[in-house]
Structures are given as C-alpha cells and as structure tokens.
A and B are shown apart, each in its own frame.
Chain A
Amino acid sequence: MNLLAKALKAWFYLGALLAVALTPAAYANGDMPGGPKVNQLDFPAPATKIMEEIHWLNWFMIVICAIIFVGVFGVMFYSILKHRKSKGAKAASFHESTTVEIIWTVIPLIIVIAMALPATKTVVAMKDTTNSDITIKTTGYQWKWGYDYIKGQGEGISFISTLSTPREQVNNLAPKSLTYLMEVDNEMVVPVNKKIRIITTANDVIHAWAVPAFGVKQDAIPGFVRDTWFKAEKIGTFRGQCSELCGAQHAFMPIVVKVVSAEDYSKWVDAKKKEMAGNADDPSKTYTLDEQKERGVKVYAANCAACHQANGKGAGAFPAMEGSKVVLGPKEAHYQILLNGKNAMPKWSGVLSDGELAAVMTYTRNSWGNKTGEVIQTQDFVTARTVTK
C-alpha cells in the first residue's frame, strides 16, 4: 500500500510537471453551435429520421451488451470470489457438456439475429436515394470541398467551401473560437424537410463527406461517384469533418450545412445566382496590379496558405514562394504548375477559375520580397490553357 501511495504521489508530480511544461492553449470554452458539445458522451442530437434510428440502434445494442456483460462477468466474479483456493474450494472435475455448449451457441445466435433485424431496416432506408428534391454533387479536393447543385431548385449553383479558421488560431497565436476547425467560408445551404441527394466524388485522393447529426458519412472517391441522402427536419447549422485520411491537411477541411426554411432557401438561391453572375470573369477585362493583389490575397489564403504559409515562407517539404525560382522565373512555367500541378502540388485547373488563378499568380509575384511588377490577366490563363491542351 505504501508503494501504491508513493506511485500515486510520483504520478501526481509528473502530471503537474507536464501541465507546466505544456503551455495551455487559449480557447473559448463552450458547446459548438451545430457541432460537438463540451465532453459530449453520445452521438449528436439527431436532425434526421435516419440519425434517430441510429441513436435508437446504438442504445438498443448498448443495453443488450450491458445485460450480457453483467450476466457473464457476474458469474465470473462470483466464481472468483467463491471458488478460490484460499477459501478452501476444491476443484470439480467436470470439463465437458455438449448440452451446455449447444445452449450457449444457439442463444447468442438468436440474440445476434434479433440485433440484425432492426438494423436491416435502417440499412435499406439509408441506401434509398431515389425521389430526391435536390441533388448536390460534392467533390473532395486536397483540402476543401466543392459543391455543385446539379438538380432541383438552385441548379447551376457552384462554389468551393474552405476552412475559415484563421491559421493564427491553429498555430496558437490567437485564441480559438467555439467553431474552431469546423467553420467554412461558404456553407452548403439546403431547405428543411426536403430530400437532398448527395453525390460524392473526389479530385485527388479519397475523402469522406460526413455530417454526424444527419447520420451521413460517404467516401468521395476519385474517378467514381457514390451517393447518399438526408432530409433535415430542423432548421439550423450542422457541422462535420472529412472522415477519410487525405493527406497533411486532413483535419482542416470541414463540412458545414445550413438548413433553412423554403423561403430563405429561395432567397439564398437568388442571391447566390446573382453573386455568381457578378463574379463571372470577363477575359477581356484588364485589372490593375492592386485589384489583382486584393483578389489574389483571398484566393491565396483559402487555397495556398495551408502549405506555402501566409508569409510565403513555405514549411518543410512545401517550398517557399518568396524568392522561388518558379514564382520569379518565366511566366510559362508558372502557368503550367498552377494549371497542372507537380508532385504534391495539386492541379488547380477545374478548381480555380482563370480569374482566380490570374489574381493569385499576380499576388505571389508581387508579395513578400517578390517584386516583379507583373500583372497577370484572366486572358493570360485562357491562352495558357490552350497551350496546355
């Protein structure tokens, strides 16, 4: 006992030492709206019928398992207490009973079948993606999500959804918000009580699109399409995270779905369509250096800073932009690497528009210590693409 006390004491000091050695990260303490609660113990509150069923199934399993657990280990611990040599127990000699063996094979079999039956119903329901009101294609990129509304109200809407948590919070230079790592610049917006079919695919490696409150998790596989569905019954914001290891920034590509009323959805669709029309790049337009840099800094923060860092100095395997041979070298090579990628650098053609590419290229060529003074125009990328082909 003395030894135990000593061990505990040593342990306490070690813990205290550790606590001092590790500077505490500053963060807001509280439940995340639409995300996990502080020290949450169970699945998130369901926002769909499917998730309600999953909740029920989980508790149904926990209760059955707990009963078996108590039964089996009740017998074992009774035996441990009563049938010990120190209490004078003499060992019995029985070591076989076909009847008993059959009983404890058949009863578990029946229990397992009883468990499988309700699960079957839910599996069939989860796989039924027919008769959807709206179909949205979600594309996984390293490391962001692309949403294309391809059928139903809002058809034609298309945007990229990227983590909006500032890097300073990740690097412990700023206090972390309540929605740390589970907030995006452009949320997926869907109407309440409508069946939404999600088609998943990916551009590079496998990702998984997941929203726990909906009971949805579907791998997004490059070159293939898969589908799943949900019908949210609550208005609100629901959050999830990429759930298949997809490389370095796997933890930094969350999913946020905003469920709104039918009217609000119509309003959002109209606004989004207007915004897209406004954003459409006119290749004939010529921008100034400052205009391009202003747009470019946003594109850079959302797409490039994860690897090359906001200060342009790169990190580890990811090269610095400042003083880079590609960034300061001939434009032709720079177009190619942006459009087609190279090694760990993804292909940005099809992800970013020509206007965005021109802006971010201008930004990198005229930021930090780089001062080429060159302004890249949308038309330059239109031309570069034809060269590529």
Chain B
Amino acid sequence: MSTISTTHDSVHDHAHDQPHGWRRWLFATNHKDIGTMYLIFSFVSLLAGGVMALGIRLELFQPGLQYFRPEFFNQLTTMHGLVMVFGAIMPAFVGFANWMIPLQIGAADMAFARMNNLSFWILPVAAALLFGSFLVPGGAPAGGWTLYAPLSLQMGPGMDLAIFAIHLLGASSIMGSINIIVTILNMRAPGMTLMKMPMFCWTWLITAYLLIAVMPVLAGVITMVLTDRHFGTTFFSAVGGGDPVMFQHIFWFFGHPEVYIMILPAFGIISEIVPAFSRKTLFGYSSMVYATSSIAILSFIVWAHHMFTTGMPVTGQLFFMYATMLIAVPTGVKIFNWVATMWRGSMTFETPMLWAIGFIFVFTMGGFTGLILAMAPIDIGLQDTYYVVAHFHYVLVAGSLFAMFAGFYFWCPKWTGRMANDARGKIHFWGSLIFFNLTFFPMHFLGLAGMPRRYADYPTQFTDFNMIASVSALGFGVMQVYFLLFVVLPAYRGQGVKASDCPWDGAKGLEWTIPSPAPFHTFETPPQVDFDALMHPSNSPTHAH
C-alpha cells in the first residue's frame, strides 16, 4: 500500500511535480498545502483572538475602568467572538478536512482543487477587512459578535467592513463545503461504502450540509443590516414597520446550526482517536452516524432558545425548550459510545488520547450546563450572564479547540514526519486543562450571582472570581504560545523522533498506510483495500457485519 504514491510519481510528467517557492502557496491546488495554510491561518487568528481575550480579562481584573474605555472594551468582546468563530475554529476544521479527508477516503486530492485555492485565499482578504475595522473612525464593531440590530445600525463604518468580511468568510465556507461534499460522495476508494467511511469524514459530510444550509441565511441577515444602515430599508426598525427581534430569529437560525458546525468535526476527531488508543473498534459506528445526523437535524429547530428573554408566547417557549432538551439524547449516545469504546480496551495514554479524554470530560460539563440553560425558567435567570459565557467556552474551547489539539497530536506524524514531543504535549495538555477550568469555572458562579456579560465594569462583590479568571486566562494563553514554540515548530523543523507510517499501533484507516510525512501526491490510483479487514483486524478476515 505505502508504495502506491511513490511508484506513480515517476510515471507522470512534470506538471505533477511539486512546485516551489511562493508559487507553491499562492497557486496551491494540493489539498495538503491548502490544509496547512488553513491551519496556519487559524492558529494566527487564535493568537489574535487570544490577545483580545487577554485585553478583556485585563480590564476585568479589577472593578472600575482601568485600561480601556467601554466603547473599546465592547470592540474587543465583539472582535474576539468574530475572530475566534470565523477566523480560528471554522477555518481550522476546514484545514483538518483538507488534509485528512482525501487521505482517509483514498482520494488523490479534493474534488475542486482550484476552488479550494480560492476558498483559502479569500480568508486573508476577509481578515484584513475585519482587522482593518479597528482603524476606521468609530473603530471595530462593538455590538457583540451576534451583531444585534438595532445596535449594529448605530455602529460606524467598521460595521460595514465586518459585514463584508463575514460575506467573504461565508463564501469561503460554502465553497469549502461544496468541495468536501463532492469529494466525499464521489471520490471514495472502491469498496468504501458510506457506512464504512471513517467517522471524521461522516461528521464533516454532515457539517458541510449544515454550512451550505445556514451560511446564506447569515449572509442574508447581515445584508439586511447593511441596507438598513445605508439604503433606507427598515427591516429591523419599527418606525418603518420592521422588527428588531426578526434579526435575532434569522441570526440564530444560522447561529444554532453554527454551534454544531463548530462541534461535529470535533466529534469526528475524537471518534478517530478514542478507538486508536483503546485498540478497539469504535463502539456503535452506525448509531454514531445516526446520532450526528439527529443532532444536525434538531439544530434547525432550537434557535429561539437563545431568545427566551425576548418575550415569546408561552407555546413558543415550551416548544423551543423541549426541542433543545431533546438534543441531549443523541449527544448522550455519543458520549456513551466513546466510553463503551474504552471499556475493556487496551488503553495507552499518549498525548492525543489525553486530549480526547480531556475533551469528553470537560465537554460533558458544557453539555450539562447547556441542558440547564435549555430550561426556559432557569435560562431567564442566566440569559446574558457569565454563566452563558462559561457554558459556551466549555463547549467551544474545551470542545472544539481541545479536539483540534487532539487531532494535531494524532496526525502530526503524518503531516510533518515527526512525532510531536510527547512530554511537552503532556505539559501543554495539563497546563491548558487546569488553566481552562480555573478561567471558566468561576464564571458559572459569577453568572448565577447575576454578573451580566459584555460588561466593562462590575460591582466589587464579583472581584475575586474575576481576578482568578484573568490570571488563569493569561496562563491558558501562555500554554498556547508554548505549544506553538515548543511543539509545533520543532515538529515542522524536523526535530524529534522520526515517525513510521503508522506510529500508533491501534490506529486504523487509509491515512496510516502511506508514508510519514505524507508525500506530495497520494492515492493517484485508488487503493484496493478490504475495508473490513482494515477496520477490524482483530476479527477473522471473513468477519461479516
């Protein structure tokens, strides 16, 4: 298997050779190069968004206004949210998809290689617009990442820049999604039926459909804001017959599926790692697929749980409360399946597995607070408080981000040809886990006690927990710089242990049949594999489902 790609390189002409210099990146059509660029872009965004978060935490270290005026503080919270959601988490998962989906399904590349180039190179342009908004009069948008009208109608030209940036990011996401869907549906190796596909591909397939369904909705609603701002429409102004709450309905019709867009690929990564280090097949593969699909479908009918305090009719509140609580069922199934995969396995705890277990543990806490927030009466007490901030950081940082770290340590040998330093990886893991919890756990108490979110200043009674959160946030940030300098860069520079084709003895799947690092071109002819034997080597070759 591992020789397929190398033997084929020589037969092709020079058009297939690896391009060099800046052309390799600017004109990139290779899924691995584009994947790497996505990952670099998202890590830079993560650091930029992290610096903004530390600015927020600096101001909140003590009560009173110390460093920033409230208008700038609001710009920081808004931009932190936008950058992390659209600049860090979403492109990072697309980077993972670019790298791993062709390798996992045995495809030579993504289906639309040139569109892939375009969907990446739109991102730096969008980022320039978004960050450029800090420099225009009035500064960056300051209405929260949710851009609620009519507050967003009051913003300066920075808001327009942000709207264009989001349009571009949306276009990029849609192109990326189309590419992923077509690649997965058309380019799987012979014999790999959908139900034999790795879980990461499944979760991304579903995510890509979610993206195509909701990104146009977001584009629509921000366009309505744009025309309200400049062209005299009144979609969100009662004066002209519009309705500010309609903005929230449309926004959250995008926003809630968006939450799952940011977590489903994480589920996929975890579903690859847990079996590998338990040396067992993923428990309940088909129920995992059904659970992921159910979560995706349910995500379209729960949006108004973000709006319990807008004053919905009682039937509306009850419907959205019930529908939201229902999501706990398929999510629970996923957790149970992971635990059952570990059960009676033969586990080892290399860095990827630590991150995966950390993910399951801490993400579940975010899941439980989600269930508590789903209860409309409790939510009315907690809406727009720090409890919500704690909740979504538990699912987005301890969820999405931790899963991506797990994925990095897992696939780093395939990307760089080197093992990520395991001892340093463990320091990164434990440091991040502890600082993460010290930062965000106290926010539950702040929220219960009533501290509203997006506040530049707070009553003195909230001081101690804010101080703990601020100091720990700095610690969390330092751990990520450590990760970059002492784990990522050394691996890319070729330091550390050389990786074999399959460095994890429990790892299964086509990506582990090719050399490490993966050659520039892989699977130029589709691999011929017995997927049952590949995925269940512990069973007899004649094993049938």
- Chain A residues at the B interface, C-beta cutoff of 8 Å: 3, 7, 11, 14-15, 18, 22, 24-25, 27-29, 31-32, 35-44, 50-51, 53-54, 57-58, 61-62, 65, 68-69, 72-73, 75-76, 79-80, 83-86, 89-97, 100-101, 104-105, 108-109, 112, 115-116, 119-120, 122-124, 126-127, 169-172, 176, 178-182, 200, 204-206, 208, 210, 212, 215-219, 221-224, 226-228, 240-252, 315-317, 344
Contact = CB atoms under 8 A, between A and B. Distances in A.
B450 A44 contact: yes
Contacts of A226: 310-311
Contact of B461 (A37, A57, A223): A37
B285 A29 contact: no
B345 A92 contact: yes
B208 interface: no
Nearest to A81: B347
Interface string B365-392: 1001001100111101101110000000
Interface string B55-78: 000000111111001111010000
A79 B336 contact: no
B3 to A, nearest CB: 29
A11 B482 CA distance: 14
Q: Categorize the interface residue count of chain B.
A: 35 or more
15 contacts: A28-B460, A36-B451, A76-B357, A79-B339, A89-B344, A123-B317, A170-B457, A181-B63, A217-B380, A219-B311, A221-B310, A226-B311, A242-B452, A250-B70, A317-B138
Tell me the interface secondary structure of chain A in the complex. Answer: mixed
Contact of A18 (B339, B364, B471): B471
Contacts of B343: 75, 79, 83, 92
Contacts of B263: none
B459 A32 contact: yes
B118 interface: no
Contacts of A126: 376-377, 380
B463 A27 contact: yes
Interface string B320-352: 011001101100110110011111111111000
B461 A40 contact: yes
Contacts of A200: 311
B283 interface: yes
B280 A95 contact: yes
A40 B386 CA distance: 13
Contacts of A76: 339, 342, 357, 360-361
A251 B461 contact: no
Contacts of B375: 57, 61, 115-116, 119
Interface stretch (B86-94, B119-127, B148-156, B512-520): B148-156
B530 interface: no
Nearest to B237: A223
A61 B368 CA distance: 9
B64 A215 contact: no
Given A28-B460, A84-B348, A227-B311, A65 B372 contact: yes
B288 to A, nearest CB: 10
Contacts of A41: 445, 448-449
B377 A123 contact: yes
B45 interface: no
B144 interface: yes
Interface stretch (B20-28, B238-246, B407-415): B238-246
Contacts of A31: 461
B154 A83 contact: no
Contacts, number: 338
A95 B285 contact: yes
A344 B459 contact: no
A41 to B, nearest CB: 5
A297 B278 CA distance: 72
The 7 closest A-B pairs by CB, nearest first: A223-B238, A226-B311, A40-B449, A95-B281, A251-B455, A92-B344, A27-B460
Interface of B: 61-66, 69-72, 74, 137-139, 142-144, 148, 150-151, 154, 156, 237-239, 243-245, 278-287, 309-311, 313-314, 317-318, 321-322, 325-326, 328-329, 332-333, 335-336, 339-349, 357, 360-361, 364-365, 368, 371-372, 375-378, 380-381, 383-385, 427, 431, 445, 448-452, 454-465, 471, 474-475, 506, 536, 538-539
Contact of B445 (A40, A104, A124, A344): A40
Contacts of B427: 3, 7
Contacts of A240: 450
Contact of B280 (A28, A37, A93): A93
A248 B142 contact: yes
B400 to A, nearest CB: 21
A69 B364 contact: yes
A41 B441 CA distance: 11
Nearest to B310: A219
Given A53-B377, A95-B284, A240-B450, A248 B69 contact: yes
B329 A245 contact: no
A106 B474 CA distance: 43
A215 B308 CA distance: 13
Given A54-B377, A172-B65, A91 B538 contact: yes
A116 to B, nearest CB: 6
A85 B450 contact: no
A53 B381 CA distance: 11
Contacts of A223: 237-239, 243-244
